[in-house]
Amino acid sequence: MVAAERRYIVGIDTGGTFTDATLIDTVTNEVFIDKSPTTPHDFSLGVVNAIGEVAKWVNLDLQGLLDRTRLVKHGSTVATNALLTRNGARVGLITTAGFEDTTLIMRAVGRVAGLSIEQIKHQSTATKPEPLVPRACIRGVTERIDARGDVVIPLNEHEVREALRTLVEGQEIQSLAVNLLFGFINPSHERRIKAIFDELYPDRTDLEITLSSDLAPVFREYARANTVIINAFLARTVNRYVDGLGQRLGGSDSEGGTQLLLMQANGGIVHRDEMTPVGMLQSGPAGGIIASKTIADLLGHGNVVSTDMGGTSYDLGLIVDGFWSYMREPIVERFHISWPIINIESIGAGGGTIARTDHVTRRLVVGPQSAGASPGPVCYGAGGTQPTVTDANVVLGYIDPDYFLGGRIKLQKQLSEEAIRTKIAEPLGMSVVEAAAGIYQVINGHMADLVRKSILPTGRAPSEFVMYAFGGAGPIHTLALTAATGIREIYVFPTSAVFSSFGIASADVIHTLTASQRYVMPADPDDLNGALQDLDAKLIDVMRKEGFEPNQVQLRRTFHMRYRRQLNELAIHIPAGGYGHEAEDQAGDVAVDSPVRSYDAHDVKLIMEEFERRYEQVYGPGSGYSRAGIEVISITIDAIGPAPKPKIAEHPGAGLDPSRALRGHRPAYFGGARGFAETAIYDYTELRPENHLMGPAIVETPVTTVVLPPGTSGTVDRYMNLALRLEA
Amino acid sequence: MTHPEPIATHVDPVIYEIFRHRLETVLEEGRLAIRMVSGSSVVIEGGETMCALYKSDGTPLLVAQGILLHCVGARDFIKHCIEAYEGSPGINDGDQFFYNDPYIGGQHSCDQVVIKPIFYNCERVAWVGSVMHTVEVGAMEPGGMPASATEIFQEGIRIFGLKIVDGGEFRQDVFNTITMQTRDPHMIGLDTKGRLAANNIIGRTYLELIEKYGFDVVRDASEKIIDESEAQARALLSSLPDGVWTSRIHGDDTSGGEDKPYRVVCTMTKRGDGITFDFTGSSPQNKCSNNETLPAAWGSLFVVLASHLFWNIHWSNGIFAPVTVVAPEGTVVNCRFPAACSNGVVTSGMMITESAHECIARMFYAAGRYDDVNAGWSSAGGGPYFGGINRKGELVSNMILDNFASGLGGTPSRDGVDTGAQMMNPQSNINDVESLEFNVPLMLLARRQMPDSGGFGKRPGGMGPESAYMVYGIDGLMVGSIGQGRRAPGSFGLFGGYPPGLQEMRFALGSDVRDWFAAGRSPRSADQLTEINAQTILDTPRTLPIIPTREYDIVIYNMSGGGGYGDPLERDPELVRADLERGAISADTASLVYGVEADQTTLEVDVAATEACRAMIRRERSDQGNVARLHNPSPAARTRRLVRFHESLAVDQKADGSLVTICLACDRELADARGNYKEHVGRRERTLSEVPLRHLKNGDRPWVVYVEYACPGCGTLLEVDTYCPETDGEERIIWDTRLDLDALLASSSREGPP
């Protein structure tokens, strides 16, 4: 098989119910999608089945497709699942003596980490999770390194030997994590522990040993310990899965073969040899933001609020200046970790979200509980009795009971009406329609509040953002909720399944490295450059293994800065080429042909100014406090290896008039004096680029419904997306 | 029984719901803004900050989730501002006022507040206030809570309302005057700016809402928020049994040249939809600063109301409406000006919280709401504080806040959380060691969970932390400490569980610890400090005025755990073995308190020996000879169970209509249910001097003894109270639960037989 014939890229996303496969033909730019049931007992089976399904679209069998496939890009839940079910290795932990309880104390905050606000407020019931490493498998060794990296107490090697012996032979651990205080500044003691292990157990190559200074050389020992522990805990399960899948996909991925790439929570796709087990956690939700970034690049949007409203939750992620941000203190399951995870916030607001009336206050309460998929909304007729957001949408005429999910489920409108009447309308003394409209508005209010709250810390005006609305329920609500946020422009993707899969299939290779090192500003440029060069070199080395030449790699630098005495940092994006020099890339990323440049004293001054500018942008004019001094606390670098971006199909314009897509009219409720209005219903599959729609209007697709209230309009773009606007 | 005003129903329920959610979100945004900007570890790691909206007269409208102590804080400042400054200098649009006087509001002068009036169409329509604990106030000692102070004038700046922003213009002169009086103007400056920013964010959104919905709608919706909280609070209270509950918590006070015990007594009366907390009987105010002003006492009580009693009700003025507080002036719960009060929040204030907590936990148990029942949480507030000049010539001053990892109480269904929280802060959080050492001239040699620090019980209290701090990277440092709990536990056990352990602090000054380091060793416990050849070993009280230390001096400090729940002898021996394995208890405790005989090396439980040991302990308990035994007719004579009010006790009705308290373990009738059963069961007073943390390292006598009550029939431990001869005199026996049995009879007969 010659490489030239490897024309396909396959994207695979393992979900809770289905495993989705996307096939991109890089020659014709055609995209095909299909799915197969997820197989929890062995996820790789579902993956292979899904590839087999999508192969049929190009008249190939599984092997035939794999022989012609260059890359398989895979988002997997195997790590998340293993952590949730506690199906991992028996891990031993070696740490600084005196601090054996650090991962049990959990900084106290472990009692509430990962809980909802309601659970946190119920103080008498909040408890800590079972620790991943029991006390019996934790050993302290006497040693101490101070905050500058100086050795205060030399490593007690006798204790190291004793600890290793009792853990390896006594506790029969399968994986060893090492996390010493300030090991990230001075890794000598951690490395010596590994050397002693190798000397004591030269044959135990099966026993993985993870050093914090290798895996996550960042400050704050508790989250770092969790990172090392979780990685050690997951390594076997994840590696076994990846190896097994590699086998199923044809074994060899040597030069010219099919390469298996795995999605990581930092939004990157990496070669399986460069994959980190802990990085696979929460990579699923990251897929949505990767897709949004791909689309944003395509459509030329720098600032995007990416939203996804499904059955139970409303998930929101931001792209600012062309890139996503990482969570400040990421939590996986109930543990803080130090690992870049794309920042996504979630609230309980979806089609299945339940509305009720509080019996004491007679308040109309919407969410956060959900009727889920079963029994689901009342109108499903599957036994649900509590009215949901979907029931309200049926009553309001937004959803056609006979054309829900393309007619696959027939909805019973009278059941929705009855439930809303008895549970909401009568207790509150409203009509059924008023009550339904109330549910619609309240849930919109919750989502709008999340949008506003998420934009606030960026220091940017809402009008600088466009909103993307994904998910089955999203386009019904998005125009109505956006009005309260100040965003004027919204995109919905009636073919969003294609767009999402396409986004993942064309995701870039990204490796992220953070180094904690404090620089009191203005720092000596030589110190700064030295540290940056070290990080760059490490990343370039990894990217070389990923198949990228140094000149193909983009480096994106984020400085975590604060005023001295502050304890929280602001993430400031600093161009790798410095400030004040011409020919810089607009977004700040180093273009392929623009070499990374060393910073000089002038750059350092400009970096400080940029921090102060951003600080005041976020916290308001006059909030800056330069007298306190400025410091850099850590530096994060994303190394980005751009993946080929096949062109997505464009369609010719067909003029403003959408009437050929008009399917008819039905009454839909838009409140005020208007009440129910006869509303034009369009068939999305018949719309063409340039077609212009004026609200009130409803566009139906087999997977979702787009509601355009009065005062809004929409245009079909050349990719067949709907670009919606609020009229001023 | 009072009835709430009908809830304003003319507000559109949909607009109301959107409005309310928006307000909650924006308050949270304001609070996050402060936390991002602040330099105080108390704020960042401890979450000690609060934003709230108030009506134009200062009535709290909605409070963001945050530190519970501050819920009432700004209310009193706003009322003062209106009273004192409406005329001159006037309250105008764009003003912001700075306050911190604890006799007006807040807990102590560290609680610095900025309030901002919100104007619409030239009319003042609301206030917003941001409260934050600040760790420097220019007091006689660094850290803001000087242990030596005996009057308020030694406790740093007292600001009675200064316009820090005047008509929208930031007043640099005022800002400088406030910040430059402190040892750390930069940090105070950052904190102050954080408060200004939060107020601006919240005020702006409130005006946007008025513009969107109109002033009348916003005003009515605001009223409805308050009315709703009140209706919910009253509905909750109505669903709970009526009665009177009493708790007595002991503390130790060691500053101002005194060394004495004191107490807080709380008598809680719940009738219908109202509740009264009466602190009569609490000790006269302390000479030093371990006192609460009246506003501070409200704040400390609110901690337990917001986190336990009314946890799922929105925090607005409405939840205060059904609550009455009685706090006699001149006592530790309502000190008289000019008493010092900066440490009340971590001493008498925590005793207010825990004494009310005990009453509420017992009431919840009688209501059958077992999920809401916790034994006492640690009242180990405070911690070491320090100040000095570093080698760059800069002033450094800060506090260690490991107290936020104190242990929590056992519950009917599970053990207490180890190193969990402090009740005042639902999202309690402590520093990473690395984060701490980046910022302060200390090196930690250990931070661990302290064995035996939790109260013993069927469900033991969680462990508290113990830390060893070494002065490092600085030539000298003044180190002091605030808090209490060395000679009295400060919290309670429940239904036969023990109160938590005691807290100690030990200094090793001028030692050869560096020789230890060179040899690859380091001292990690208080006992090891005696081995490092120190010139001076000091066992000090918790409230300790600063003492000078040098580099490499060490201080070891432990925070107490939570209270135990239920008789320790009912703990599964295998769980006791697990406790031994994970170092939660010592071998002595396993055998003396839990009656478990385990092999010293394998820890295997000797089942027969354990049975025998437990039987012996039960016999000892039941055979106290002080029991005036009730005649004990056959159980068949009892017709129905009226209420189970205790893990091991219930009230039954007999065929003749009389009510008796019975032991659920052996079905024995103990006493007439209309009296205090404690008068009729085995009682003994004892210290557990064999058990670590129940005696003091230097031999000092704890102020309290345990008073153990046990069933004379089966020896089940029913209650472990503390008794302090110096404060309690002849009041040996507490009547902790006096249910209104007639009301229960009336309501149960209405509902028919169970």
Whether residue A48 contacts residue A69, with contact meaning beta carbons closer than 8 Å, is answered with no
CB contacts, 8 Å: B179 with chain A: none
Is residue A456 within 8 angstroms of chain B, CB to CB? yes
Task: Please count the other Cβ atoms lying within 10 Å of the Cβ belonging to residue A650.
Answer: 12
pLDDT in tens, A604-631: 999 999 999 888 887 767 677 787 789 9
Range of the domain at B490: 382-566
Residues 619-678 in A contacting B (C-alpha not used; CB under 8 Å)? 619-620, 622-623, 625, 627-629
Mean pLDDT over residues A636-642, rounded?
Answer: 92
| Test mutation, B45, B370, B422, B448, chain A, max A CBs within 10 A | B448
| B260 occurs within a structural domain | no
| B373 contacts in chain A (CB < 8 Å) | 124
> Each residue of A345-367: pLDDT tens digit?
889 899 999 999 988 888 999 98
Identify which of B17, B44, B524 has the shortest CB distance to residue A567: B44
Residues of A in contact with B3 (CB under 8 A): none
CB contact, 8 Å: A2 with chain B? no
Segments in B214-269 forming alpha helices (H): 215-238
Residues B39 and B166 reside in one and the same domain? yes
**A651: CB partners within 8 A, 6+ apart:** A688, A689, A718, A719, A720
Instruction: Give the end of a domain, one of B521, B539, B566.
Output: B566
Of B232, B372, B446, the CB nearest to A98: B446
Instruction: Determine the pLDDT at residue A662.
Output: 96
Q: Which residue of B has its CA nearest to A148?
A: B438
Residues B78 and B220 in one domain: yes
Which pLDDT belongs to residue A586? 42
Determine, for residues A123 and B430 on separate chains, whether the beta-carbon distance falls below 8 Å. Answer: no
Name the residue in chain A with its Cα closest to that of B44: A567
The answer to whether A195 faces chain B, any CB pair under 8 Å, is: no
Domain boundary among B182, B202, B233: B233
Same domain, B651 and B547: no
Are residues B441 and B511 both part of a single domain? yes
Sheet holding A697-700, edge to edge: A662-669, A676-683, A697-700, A705-708
The amino acid present at A10, given as its one-letter code, is V
Same structural domain for residues B56 and B169? yes
Inter-chain touch B426–A123, beta carbons under 8 Å:
yes
Q: With respect to residue A196, please indicate whether it lies within any of the assigned structural domains.
A: yes
Average pLDDT of the residues in A563-583:
73
Structural domain count of chain B: 3
A394 with A528, same domain? no
* Residue A108 placed within a domain: yes
User: Which residue numbers in chain B have pLDDT < 70?
Assistant: 1-9, 35-48, 65-66, 71, 73, 255-256, 624-636, 749-754
The partner residues of A640 in beta bridges, in order of sequence, read: A510, A554
Nearest to B445 among A98, A221, A366 (CB): A98
Residue A622 belongs to what domain range? 509-641
User: Is residue A362 within 8 angstroms of chain B, CB to CB?
Assistant: yes
Residue B238 is assigned to a structural domain of this protein: no
CATH number at residue A550: 3.30.1490
CA angle B646, B649, B650 (to 5 degrees): 100
Residues B468, A98: C-beta atoms closer than 8 Å: yes
Band (pLDDT 50/70/90 cuts) for residue A3 is very low
- Which single residue is written with the structure tokens 């709230």? B52
Closest CA to B195 of B62, B56, B45, B73: B73
Task: Give A-chain residues touching B443 at CB under 8 angstroms.
Answer: 144, 146, 152
- CB contacts of A628 in chain B (<8 Å) are 39, 186, 189-190
Q: Tens digits of per-residue pLDDT, A426-465?
A: 999 999 999 999 999 999 999 999 999 899 888 888 999 9
Which positions in chain B touch A565 (Cβ < 8 Å)? 39, 184, 186-187, 190
Q: Say whether A23 sits in a helix, a strand or coil.
A: strand
pLDDT at residue A582 is higher than 50: no
Q: What is the mean pLDDT of residues A66-77?
A: 89
Closest in A182, A221, A364 to B13, CB measured: A364
- In the structure encoding, which two tokens stand for residue B671, read together? 């006493």
Averaged pLDDT, A232-245: 92
In the predicted structure, residue A240 carries a pLDDT above the cut 60: yes
User: Does residue B337 lie in a domain region?
Assistant: no
Q: Are B96 and B225 part of one and the same domain?
A: yes
Q: How many CB pairs under 8 A join A and B?
A: 250
| Minimum-distance CB partner of B65 among A121, A361, A564 | A121
Residues A439 and A420: their CA atoms lie apart, in Å, by: 10
Nearest to B406 by CA among B380, B375, B426, B443: B380
Residues B155 and B34 in one domain: yes
Give B753 or A378, the one with higher predicted confidence: A378
Is A444 in the same domain as A561? Answer: no
SS3 A643: coil
The answer to whether residues B113 and B215 belong to one domain is yes
pLDDT of residue B562: 97
Q: What angle do CA B681, B685, B687 make, to 5 degrees?
A: 140
Residue B434 with chain A: CB contacts under 8 Å: 147, 181-182, 219-221
Q: Could you give the 3-state DSSP secondary structure of residue B13?
A: helix
The CATH number for A65's domain is 3.30.420.40
Residues A489 and A359 in one domain: yes
Distance of CA B705 to the CA centre of its chain: 22
Residue A116 and residue A150 in one domain: yes
B682 domain-assigned: yes
Do B404 and A105 lie within an 8 Å CB cutoff?
A: no
Q: Are B562 and B628 within one domain?
A: no
Q: Are residues B445 and B538 in the same domain?
A: yes
Short-list A91, A552, A482, CA closest to A305: A482
Q: Which of A483, A508, A533 is the last residue of a domain?
A: A508
Q: Give the integer Cα–Cα distance in Å for B360 and A581.
A: 67
Minimum distance, in Å, between the CA of residue A124 and any CA atom of chain B: 6
ipTM here: 0.94
Q: How far is CA B544 from CA A291, B146, B360, B441, in A?
A: 59, 9, 33, 20
Q: Compute the nearest-CA separation of B722 from chain A (Å).
A: 23
Confidence at residue B543, expressed as pLDDT on a 0 to 100 scale: 85
Is A690 domain-assigned? no
Residue A378 lies in a domain: yes
Same domain, A105 and A199: yes
CA A286, A291, A294, A297 dihedral sign is: negative
Residues B60 and B174 in one domain: yes
Contact B39 A122 (CB under 8 A): no
Q: Does A564 touch chain B (CB under 8 A)?
A: yes
Put simply, the answer to whether B200 touches A182 (Cβ < 8 Å) is no
In a domain, A657, yes or no: no
Residues of B in Cβ contact (< 8 Å) with A99: 433, 444, 446-448
Q: Does residue B292 lie in a domain region?
A: no
Residue A285 φ then ψ, to 5°: -60, -30
Query: Which residues of chain A make contact with B44, given a CB cutoff of 8 A?
Result: 567-568
Residues A497, A524, single domain; the answer is no
C-alpha distance from B620 to closest chain A C-alpha (Å): 34
Token pair listed for B312: 């799922």
Within a domain: A658: no
Instruction: Please list every residue in chain A whose beta carbon sits closer than 8 Å to the beta carbon of residue B447.
Output: 98-99, 101-102, 105
- Write out chain B residues lying below 8 Å of A518, CB-based: 438
Q: Does residue A592 have a pLDDT over 50? A: no
Q: Is the pLDDT of residue A550 over 60?
A: yes
Chain B: nearest CA to A211, how far in angstroms? 17
Closest residue of chain A to B193, computed from CA coordinates = A623
* Three-state secondary-structure class, residue B675: coil
Among A103, A111, A345, A442, which would you mutate to test the B interface (most chain B Cβ atoms within 10 Å of its Cβ)?
A: A111
Instruction: Identify all chain B residues contacting A617, using CB atoms and an 8 Å cutoff.
Output: none
A520 inside 8 A of chain B by CB:
no
Nearest alpha-carbon partner for A112 in B306, B267, B404: B404
In the listed set B233, B258, B289, which residue is the last one of a domain according to the structure? B233
CA distance A431 to B201: 37
- Residue A645 pLDDT > 80, yes or no? no
- For residue A71, the model assigns a pLDDT of 87
Nearest CA in chain A to B516: A153
Provide the token pair at A446: 């919750």
Partners of A154 on chain B (C-beta within 8 Å) are 517-518, 520
Does residue B413 belong to any structural domain of this protein?
A: yes
**Residue A222 located in a structural domain:** yes
Distance from CA of A411 to the nearest CA of B (A): 26
Distance in Å, alpha carbon of A532 to nearest chain B alpha carbon: 21
Of B228, B419, B581, the CB nearest to A108: B419
- Is a pLDDT exceeding 80 seen at residue A417? yes
CB atoms within 10 A of CB A592: 13
Phi-psi region of A174 (alpha: psi -120 to 50; beta: other; left: phi over 0): alpha
Number of domains in chain A: 4
| Weakest mean pLDDT among A122-126, A145-149, B399-403, B718-722 | B399-403
